[in-house]
A and B are shown apart, each in its own frame.
Chain A
Amino acid sequence: MLLAAPAIDIDQPFVNAALGLIAFTLVMTVGVMYATWYERKIVARMQYRLGPTRTGPFGLLQPIADTFKLLTKEDLRPATADFVAFELAVFLIFIPALMVFVAVPFTADWFISAIPLSLLYILAVSGLSFIGFLLAGWGSDSKYALLGGMRAAAQLISYEVPLIMAMVGVVMVTGTVDAYQMILYQDTVPLIVWQPLGFMIFLIASIAEVERPPFDIPTGESEVAGGVFIEYSGIRWSMFQLSSYVNMYAFALLGAFVFMGGWEWPFGTDVGWGLQLLLTVVKMSLFIVFYLWVRASFPRLRPDQLMSYAWKVLIPFSLAQIFFNGFIIVYDLPDVAYLISSGLLTVGLGYSAIFIVRRGEPRKPLQMVPARATARKPEPEPAVVAAAEGAAT
């Protein structure tokens, strides 16, 4: 058991935690390699393609080939780049992404450290990565990178607010910020039932936090040419990609144990670590498949839509959720009241999203535009038609 609880080795908790982190980093690296394979396969299937097929059975060796390609690539740095900021940025994104997992309980006994305030810890640490994005953007000395870095920071800071507010709602219901206690609370009913609005806000805000499509505005190829990654190559670029996927795993895990009951629901605490690990992984995978599905389904948002959605829709609704939760706690209403208030707010969220985000846009009738210029036969000019008619008569 690599990720042993500190209780096993009380004398050396630091050594224990360090070993756990190293083992976890290695596991995560392989996990991320195969996440890229999985993403390519899933998205290919959704787009009626095959995805990687040539390397190994089902293209299973593709991530290994990719890794070697990336590691052996020339490591370039622009001559005008700021050395310290450029080099440091990679680590300032990579390290917070991995630090999140210190507080994540994988099963009832598998965690690196049991922090009593683990939910707060996860949110605080995952919020640090924007420093790396800003530094990478500024240090690259490239306009696209700077724009991408600014967009990344603005997006991360905006969506962190509704994310934390959704978590506050959950904390009000469970009465704890300890992830472990929170999982135990979901013994019979997972929190997604009591807090569907919190779940929806978490789902949307977490896609924005991991900067995946349709919220990949900071790294959009067509707008900022890859954003902060533009000047990075080889191993540094792959570390950016790695931390992006690690973040995706982190938020999938967070969603799995905050809203879906983690290892507790529906089998209880005493089923042994094997089944518990399986439950955690299955729930995490559900989130990851959702992220990939959304990526394959939706076009990228515009920056103003992104901002107005966070500030005008998600934050007011998460505040309303907190207000209703407080009301229910103060007047000691039954748990069903959570479901009713949160469910009604969820419906309102879906309804208002369209109206608030698209308000102010000019109402245009739907126009049919040909997909390509050649898709429609060019209509003959009137003069040509008249000439042809004249020739015929």
Chain B
Amino acid sequence: MTEVFFYIFAATVIAGGLGVVLLRNIVYSALTLIASLMGVAGIYILLSVEFLALVQVLIYGGAVMVLILFALMLTRTRELKDNLDGDQKPLAAVAALALLGSFIAAITQTTWPRDVNQITTVPFNDIGNALFERWAVPFEIASGVLLVALVGAIIIAMQEEGER
């Protein structure tokens, strides 16, 4: 049963990813991106990291997608419907295949510290403890970087408003 679900989720991820690249309508691309990200969340559940799966839904399905959709819908997306394909399609395919090959090579060549066929469940509390005790300083630095980005975005937006 789990295997069936894995294939369903994997197919969703791949089909969604292809949809993002191949569909002509950019809003549909955003929709298939949502499907793809939800598929990733499903695979997280199969790997028994429910916390990551839910955060994936909350952050990518919620916050990130609203940004993308806002940007797409507030700009004139309907006018660039036809011009999304370039002449560099074969080059892109080569680059994508090279990336795929390097990923596969990296996954198969690496010696993993634990037995990969066994799923080790990580309790939710351990993630929290690791984040806030063991790795508290990197966590704080990351949040500081985000804060700077936030303030920067506000300042840039304010300047643009004043220029008008």
Asked if A349 is at the interface (CB within 8 A of a chain B CB), the reply is: no
A82 to B28, CA, bound (A): 10
Q: Using a CB–CB distance below 8 Å, which chain B residues touch chain A?
A: 1, 25, 27-28, 31, 34, 50-51, 54-55, 57-58, 61-63, 65-66, 69-70, 73-74, 124
State whether A130 touches B124 (Cβ < 8 A). no
Specify which of B51, B61, B62, B63 is in contact with A120 (CB 8 Å cutoff).
Answer: B51
Specify which of B25, B27, B62, B73 is in contact with A128 (CB 8 Å cutoff).
Answer: B62
Residues of chain A within 8 A of B25, CB atoms compared: 82
Residues of chain B within 8 A of A14, CB atoms compared: 1
B145 smallest CB distance to A (angstroms): 19
A130 to B67, CA, bound (A): 11
B131 smallest CB distance to A (angstroms): 14
Q: Using a CB–CB distance below 8 Å, which chain A residues touch chain B?
A: 14, 82, 84-85, 88, 115-117, 120-121, 123-125, 127-128, 130-131, 134-135, 137-138, 146, 149-150, 153, 157, 160, 177
State whether A134 touches B54 (Cβ < 8 A). no
State whether B51 touches A131 (Cβ < 8 A). no
A124 to B124, CA, bound (A): 16
8 A-B pairs with CB atoms under 8 Å apart are: A115-B50, A124-B58, A128-B62, A131-B61, A131-B66, A134-B66, A153-B66, A157-B62
Residues of chain A within 8 A of B66, CB atoms compared: 130-131, 134, 153, 157
Chain A's closest residue to B50 (CB) is A117
Pick the 10 closest A-B CB pairs, nearest first.
A124-B58, A127-B62, A124-B57, A124-B54, A120-B54, A138-B73, A134-B69, A157-B66, A117-B50, A128-B61
A116 to B122, CA, bound (A): 13
A123 to B61, CA, bound (A): 12
Task: Known A-B contacts: A124-B58, A150-B70. Give 12 more (CB < 8 A).
Answer: A82-B27, A84-B28, A85-B31, A88-B31, A120-B58, A121-B54, A124-B62, A131-B61, A134-B70, A137-B73, A138-B69, A146-B73
Chain A's closest residue to B72 (CB) is A138
A115 to B73, CA, bound (A): 36
Residues of chain B within 8 A of A117, CB atoms compared: 50-51, 54, 124
B77 smallest CB distance to A (angstroms): 9
A150 to B71, CA, bound (A): 11
A277 smallest CB distance to B (angstroms): 28
State whether B31 touches A116 (Cβ < 8 A). no
Residues of chain A within 8 A of B63, CB atoms compared: 157
B119 smallest CB distance to A (angstroms): 16
Chain A's closest residue to B74 (CB) is A150
